[in-house]
């Protein structure tokens, strides 16, 4: 199974919609609730990052025959200059507006890494590409 979602920059109103849809899909397939919780946290954090930090992009959800869930987040920039720094809990470049809405705790990438079975992030000026798998 494969689903692709488009995420727009600064679209706070719909932020979390893709994560919710993915959660509903997996819930109907009766996936283990503990795994589902990890997927929900990681997916939401990554989706929010596309909204508040990137120029927009896509989320690709894939479920393979072995029950492994793969989530890919691909945006069109501006990229992360120093990934190690970005991964540090508490580090955030979130705008004042985003912080007012409760984002920008600087815990997102750390939360994702803790939730995912595998976590891979690549970034350049042209975009950030994040892949996570869950089992």
Partner 1 sequence: MKLSELQSINEIRLVNTIKDDKDIQDVYIGDLLSFVMANGKEESIWLTVQRHINVIAVAELNDFSAIIFVENVEPDEETLLKANELHIPLFVSSLDAFALCKRLYQEGL
Ligand X SMILES: Nc1ncnc2c1ncn2[C@@H]1O[C@H](COP(=O)(O)OP(=O)(O)O)[C@@H](O)[C@H]1O
Contact residues toward partner 1 (CB under 8 A) are 12-13, 15-17, 19-20, 23, 37, 40-41, 44-45, 48, 100-108, 111, 114
CA pair distance 121, 128, nearest whole angstrom:
7
Among 8, 31, 41, 105, binds ligand X (CB under 6 A): 105
Work out whether 106 is an interface residue with ligand X (CB under 6 A).
yes
3 state SS of 43: helix
CA pair distance 71, 130, nearest whole angstrom:
8
Residue 106's Cβ-count burial label (10 Å; 0-12, 13-18, 19+) is: middle
- Among partner 1, ligand X, Mg ion, none, residue 38 binds (CB under 5-8 Å by kind): none
Question: In this structure, are residues 13 and 45 in contact, taking their beta carbons and an 8 Å threshold?
Answer: no
Nearer to ligand X, 18 or 63 (CB): 18
Interface ranges with ligand X (CB under 6 A) = 45, 49-50, 53-54, 75, 80, 86, 91-94, 103-109, 128
């Amino acid at each position: 199974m494969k689903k692709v979602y488009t995420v727009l920059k600064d679209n706070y109103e719909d932020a979390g919609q893709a994560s919710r849809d993915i959660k509903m899909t997996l819930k109907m397939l009766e996936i283990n609730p503990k795994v589902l919780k990890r997927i929900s946290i990681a997916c939401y954090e990554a989706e929010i990052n596309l909204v508040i930090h990137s120029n927009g992009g896509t989320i690709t959800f894939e479920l393979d025959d072995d029950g492994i869930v793969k989530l890919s987040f691909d945006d069109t920039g501006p990229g992360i200059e120093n990934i190690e720094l970005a991964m540090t809990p508490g580090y955030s470049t979130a705008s004042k507006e985003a912080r007012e809405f409760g984002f920008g705790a600087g815990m997102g990438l750390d939360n994702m890494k803790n939730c995912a079975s595998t976590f891979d992030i690549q970034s350049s000026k042209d975009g950030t590409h994040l892949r996570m798998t869950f089992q």
